[in-house]
Structure 1
Amino acid sequence: MLLLLTLLIKARVQIVTGSAIGIFLLLLQTLAFLAISGGLVLAAGGAALVAKQQRRSASA
């Protein structure tokens, strides 16, 4: 009986630990996605500004 109780507690601890690691990795993945998306938006905005300036200087 004591062995079964010990195994049950061990399994619960492993589930909780696995869930915590999973949540941490999900948060890390989400933050990385948001950072990369923000970088792409900034790069696209910068490219649009450079293209606009080049068009303006070419027509002047």
Structure 2
Amino acid sequence: MGSRRGLAVLFNPFCPLSTAKVLALKATVLLLLTLLIKARVQIAAGSALGILLLLVQTLVFLAISGGLVLAAGGAAVYATQRRRPAAA
């Protein structure tokens, strides 16, 4: 009885949606959902890549600044050792 009611709706001439229109809408919704999921995955992957690049950039900055501190400290030690014999 339920299937007879469904067939009556599909073949109703006053129904604005035909079977082809319903199938086209279903296909469009499926396509849009697929594109939405794909975009969400790309955003997540892009965010992960961005976080990874930010981490690498931070580590490189810390390494370079640490190297500069060591170089400045070495230069200061060298300068103080060089001045001592001259002062003595």
4+ aligned runs moved over 3 Å, structure 1? none
- The residue aligned with 1:56 is 84
Of Structure 1 and Structure 2, which has the larger fraction of its residues in helix?
1
When the two structures are aligned, how many residues end up with a matched partner?
60
Name which of 30, 38, 55 aligns with 1:10. 38
Report Cα offsets for 1:2-60 as digits up to 9, x if no partner: 10110000000000000000000000000000000000000000000000000001112
Q: Which amino acid aligns with 1:46?
A: G
Distance 1:23 1:13 in 2: 15
- 1:10-49 alignment to 2 at 5 Å? 10-49=38-77
Identity over aligned pairs, percent: 78
Distance 1:4 1:54 in 2: 74
TM-score by length of 1: 0.97
Structure with bigger gyration radius: 2
Distance 2:41 2:82 in 1: 61
